[in-house]
Structure 1
Amino acid sequence: MKFKGLIDIDQPREKVVALFKDPKYLGEYQEGFIRKEYINGLKGENGAVSKVFYKHGKGEMELTETIISNNLPESFYASYQHKHMDNTLKSTFTSLSPTKTRYETQGEYTAFRGFIPKMLGLFFPKMFEKQAQKWLNNFKVFAEKQ
C-alpha cells in the first residue's frame, strides 16, 4: 500500500533540512515521540540502525529505523519495522525559492502482521496517508516558527 504527502514551507531548504535531520526536534511535530536511540552504524549514514520510541496507549511502541539512502539535502530514504507492520518512507526537499521549500513524502507499507493491522490496511488505507500528512502539517508549523 503506497501513500504520498507534500507541503510547502516558508523557510529556506537549508533550514528545513537542518530541522528535519536533527532528532531532538522529532517531538515538535510527531505526537507521542519519546526518544531515538542509535543502535548500529554511523549516525545519519546509509545502513545506520536506530530504535525510535513513541507513546502508545499506556505503553510504548518501538520502531526500528534503517537508513537506506541519506542524500540530504535532496532526500532521505529509510525503512521502519514494527512487530505489526513494515514500511519505507522517502522524504524529498525541493527549493522553490530562496525562502520556500517543498517537503514531499512517498511511503509504502510492505508488510502487515496480525489480524487487526491487516484489516486496517485493507479497509482504512487513507488512515495511514492522513497520519503522514498530519506530521507534514505539524512540521510546517514548527519549521515556520524557527
Structure 2
Amino acid sequence: MKYTTEIIVDLPREEFIKKLDNPENMKHWQRGLVGFEQISGEPGTEGAQMSLSYKMGKREFDMVETIIKRNFPEEFHSTYDTKGVHNVQKNYFKEENGSTKWISESEFEFSGFFMKFMAFLMPGAFKKQSMKYLQDFKSFAEEGKSVLDN
C-alpha cells in the first residue's frame, strides 16, 4: 500500500528541520510515543537504528526506525519495522515563501494474515494516522502545542 500526504508548516525550512530533527521533540507530536532508545549507529546518521515504544489505548508496541537517507534540509528517508509491518517513509522538505512544504511518501508491506486483513479492511486508517502526525507536528512547530497537553 502506497500513499502521499503533505502539509505546509509556517516556518522557514531551517527552523522546521531543527524541530523535526530533535528526538526530544518527538513526544510533542507523535501521539502515543512513550520512549525511544538508540540501538545502533551514531544517532541521526544513515544506518542508525532507534527503538520507539508506543502505547495507543490498551495496545503497546515497539518499532525499529532505520535511517536510510539523511540529506537535510531537502529530504529524510527511514524504515519502520514492527510485528507484521514494514514501512518505508520518504520525506521531502520544500521551501515555499518562508514556509516549509512537507511531502511524506509512505509505503507499507504487511506480513501475516491479521495485518494484511487490517490493511485491506481499513486502508484509510493508515493515511489518516500519517496525516495526524503531520498536523500534530505543524501545531507543535508553529504554536508550541504538545500532544502531551491533551
**TM-score (structure 1 length as normaliser):** 0.93
Give me the whole-angstrom Cα distance separating, in 2, the residues matched to 1:36 and 1:17. 19
SS, match of residue 91 in structure 1: strand
| 1:59 to partner: Cα distance | 5.2
- Aligned partner of 2:147 in structure 1 is none
Give me the whole-angstrom Cα distance separating, in 1, the residues matched to 2:127 and 2:60. 22
4+ residue segments displaced more than 3 Å: 56-59
| 1:114 to partner: Cα distance | 2.7
> Which ranges of structure 1 fall in alignment gaps of 5 or more residues?
none
**TM-score (structure 2 length as normaliser):** 0.91
- Aligned partner of 1:84 in structure 2 is 84
Aligned residue runs from structure 1 range 89-128, under 5 A? 89-97=89-97, 99-110=98-109, 112-128=110-126
Q: Deviations over 1:41-86 (max 9, x none)?
A: 1111110011011113435310011110011111110011101211
- Provide the aligned C-alpha RMSD in A: 1.2
Percent identity between the two aligned chains:
35
Give me the whole-angstrom Cα distance separating, in 1, the residues matched to 2:131 and 2:112. 25
Aligned counterpart for 2:138 among listed residues 133, 137, 140:
140
- Aligned partner of 2:148 in structure 1 is none
Q: Deviations over 1:4-33 (max 9, x none)?
A: 100001111011111111111111111101
Give me the whole-angstrom Cα distance separating, in 1, the residues matched to 2:37 and 2:59. 17
Equivalent pairs, count:
144
Give me the whole-angstrom Cα distance separating, in 2, the residues matched to 1:5 and 1:57. 25
> Which ranges of structure 2 fall in alignment gaps of 5 or more residues?
145-150
Residues 133 and 59 (structure 1 numbering): CA distance in 2 closer, same or farther, change over 3 Å?
A: closer
| 1:138 to partner: Cα distance | 0.9
Aligned residue runs from structure 1 range 1-146, under 5 A? 1-58=1-58, 60-97=60-97, 99-110=98-109, 112-146=110-144
Give me the whole-angstrom Cα distance separating, in 2, the residues matched to 1:80 and 1:144. 26
